[in-house]
Amino acid sequence: MSYVDNVLETVKAKNPAQPEFIEATTTVLNSLRPLLDSDDKYEKNAILERITEPERQIMFRVPWVDDNGKIQVNRGFRVQFNSAIGPYKGGLRFHPSVNLSIIKFLGFEQILKNSLTTLPIGGGKGGSDFDPKGKSDREVMAFCQSFMTELYRHIGKDTDVPAGDIGVGGREIGFLYGQYKRITGLYEGVLTGKGLTYGGSLARTEATGYGLVYLTNAMLKEAGKSMNGKTVVISGSGNVALYACQKAQQNGAKVVTMSDSTGWIYDPNGIDLDAMREIKEVKRGRCKEYIANHPKAEYHDGKGVWSVKCDIALPCATQNEINEDDAKMLVKNGCFAVGEGANMPSTPEAIKVFLDSHILFAPAKAANAGGVATSALEMSQNSERLSWTFEEVDSKLKNIMEGIYENISSAAKKYGCEGNLVVGANIAGFVKVADAMIAQGVC
Ligand code: NDP
Ligand code: 2IT
């Protein structure tokens, strides 16, 4: 049995009932085969066995009191996956679906994504099954304070630096930061995605969505194409989706869809982004509200953006949101490029459809790395106690995304898989972490 098959068998046996974690590790390990076949140092150093086992997994009780005076109990997580190339770095997700499998798949992906940024950050992820939707600001604050009352002892500016993800934005980061500072007395860059008045970086809010478009553009450019004049479908209507939409529109694209977990909008005139931002960022409302002032737009319950004819698809909601049938529909309708804004939005079967159809496919760990890259830039600014201008941060972000494209595209070529950016991203991300692990000995 090959090294990869052997380790995958062990990973499956050791992590039963963790489908998302198994999905992520299987995809990554399978795409490392050309590298592992060319050099046995990774097997000799048991790198796959070590990299698939988190350095530390923390699970804790999060009790808080709701507005009716009732005590609620949620479960908190922080998985400190790999610190070979820097302090653990990665977001916190607050969503009712959160469990250990989801946090571990996100943490595992984060190791390789953070490596691709070229910045010194290791991989981690955390969160809770708490649902911020429909909660008052006071309830969200009570939850965040309780969450940080346990988390604070495990994190620090040089050990582990959490940030946002689904359900965690500026409001939550503010409450979490306040509690960390209150308990420790430290005013330090322990979280990223902070508000601009207390150490946040300009352009961090925009970074994941902008970065997604910068990387997608680099991929289109190599194929002699561009976003200008193209029809784009976007899923989600959160942080990543909104700023992907903004940057795509700035590049001359027409974005015709956005969605949330209840339904989706199709606007043949192109999404009115100011209106969508008002609904989502200001009112914390639902996509459905968009049609009230946009008579040409349609609202549909459930899932459906992948049925809309488009040139380019940017999934920006959640994992496994594009299945095999969705992928076939996209390809049949003429979609020629997919850039993954969300983490693992395409199932393995969907990825196979994209690769077999030779459409341009930018995998999540490369395409959405702009968020964490800009988080690392926020850490640098905090360390030097300076803030850079929007243009400075944005131009660094653009350079980083173009560099990532260059790197993953050449890695794919080097290992005989030209055009397969899944292989390119996994190998390029892995090599740096694996070599650092080997240099640091058995740990
Ligand atoms: P937000 O919470 O801001 O937005 C999430 C969006 O996705 C909402 O529209 C939400 O709808 C929708 N969504 C979430 N879960 C589901 C679901 N199970 N089914 C259908 N729709 C869903 O999160 P972000 O925009 O920050 O994150 C989106 C994706 O991007 C995630 O995969 C995240 O891991 C990834 N990502 C985020 C980064 C960041 O910097 N924020 C960086 C890199 C990746 P609803 O409001 O109804 O729940
Ligand atoms: O998935 C991700 O890369 C994020 N949610 C951002 C992590 C970060 O530390 O900014």
The predicted-structure confidence for 405-415, as pLDDT tens digits, reads as follows 999 999 999 99
DSSP three-state, residue 123: strand
Q: What is the pLDDT of residues 262-307, one digit of tens each?
A: 999 999 999 999 999 999 999 999 999 999 999 999 999 999 999 9
Instruction: State the DSSP H helix or E strand holding residue 355, giving kind and residue range, or none if neither.
Output: helix 348-356
For ligand 2, what atom is nearest to the CA of residue 164? 5
pLDDT for res 27: 98
Q: Ligand 1 atom closest to Cα of 237?
A: 9
In the prediction, which pLDDT does 251 show? Answer: 98
For residue 262, the ligand closest to its alpha carbon is: 1
391 membership: H or E segment, kind and range: helix 390-414
User: For the segment 77-123, what is each residue's pLDDT rounded down to a tens digit?
Assistant: 999 999 999 999 999 999 999 999 999 999 999 999 999 999 999 99
Q: What is the mean pLDDT of residues 40-51?
A: 98
3-state SS, residue 254: strand
How many degrees, rounded to 5, is the angle at CA 237 between CA 233 and CA 238? 135
Interval 366-392 mean pLDDT? 98
Q: Is the CB of 237 under 6 A from ligand 2?
A: no
* Residue 357 CB neighbours (<10 A): 15
Q: Determine whether the shortest distance from the Cβ of 317 to ligand 1 is under 6 A.
A: yes
Q: Over the chain, what is the mean pLDDT? A: 98
Residues whose CB is less than 8 angstroms from the CB of residue 95 and which lie 6 or more positions away in sequence, other chains included: 127, 129, 131, 166, 167
Residue where the block lists tokens 């050990």: 159
By the 8 A CB rule, do 92 and 177 touch?
A: no
Which of 103, 239, 262, 301 has most ligand 1 atoms within 8 Å of its beta carbon, as the pocket-test mutant?
Answer: 239
Around Cβ 36, how many Cβ atoms within 10 Å?
21
SS (H, E, C) 280-329: HHHCCCCHHHHHHHCCCCEEEECCCHHHCCCCEEEECCCCCCECHHHHHH
| Best CA proximity match to 142, nearest among 200, 194, 72 | 72
Kindly state if the Cβ of 89 falls inside 6 Å of ligand 2: yes
At 136-150, the pLDDT tens digits run 999 999 999 999 999
φ, ψ of residue 170 to 5 degrees: the values are -55, -40
> Cβ distance 273 to 245 under 8 Å?
yes
Catalytic residue among 89, 104, 113, 125: 125
How far apart are the CA of 343 and the centre of ligand 1, in A? 9
Whether residue 432 lies in the annotated active site: no
- pLDDT at residue 319, rounded to an integer: 98
Determine how many CB atoms are found less than 10 A away from the CB of residue 340. 26
- Ligand 1 centre and the CA of 311: distance in Å? 22
pLDDT > 70: what percent of the chain?
Answer: 100
What ligand has the least distance to the C-alpha of 344? 1
Distance CA 368, CA 241 (A): 11
**Tens digit of each residue's pLDDT (9 = 90 or more) over 77-86:** 999 999 999 9
CB of 193 sitting under 6 A from ligand 1? no
Name the closest ligand to CA 316.
1
Contact indicator for 66, 101 with CB cutoff of 8 Å = no
* Centre of ligand 2 from the C-alpha of residue 90, in Å: 5
Q: How confident is the model at residue 312, as a pLDDT?
A: 99
CA 84 to chain centre: 20
Q: Domains of the chain by range and CATH?
A: 3-187 (3.40.50.10860), 205-362 (3.40.50.720)
Residue 373: the pLDDT is 99
pLDDT band at 70 (very low <50, low <70, confident <90, very high): very high
pLDDT at site 217: 98
Q: Is 372 in the pocket of ligand 2 (CB under 6 A)?
A: yes
132 lines ligand 1 (CB under 6 A): no
- CA 417 and chain centroid, separation: 25
Task: For residue 243, name the pLDDT band (cuts at 50, 70, 90).
Answer: very high
Residue 279 per-residue DSSP state:
I
Ligand 2 pocket member 238 (CB < 6 A): no
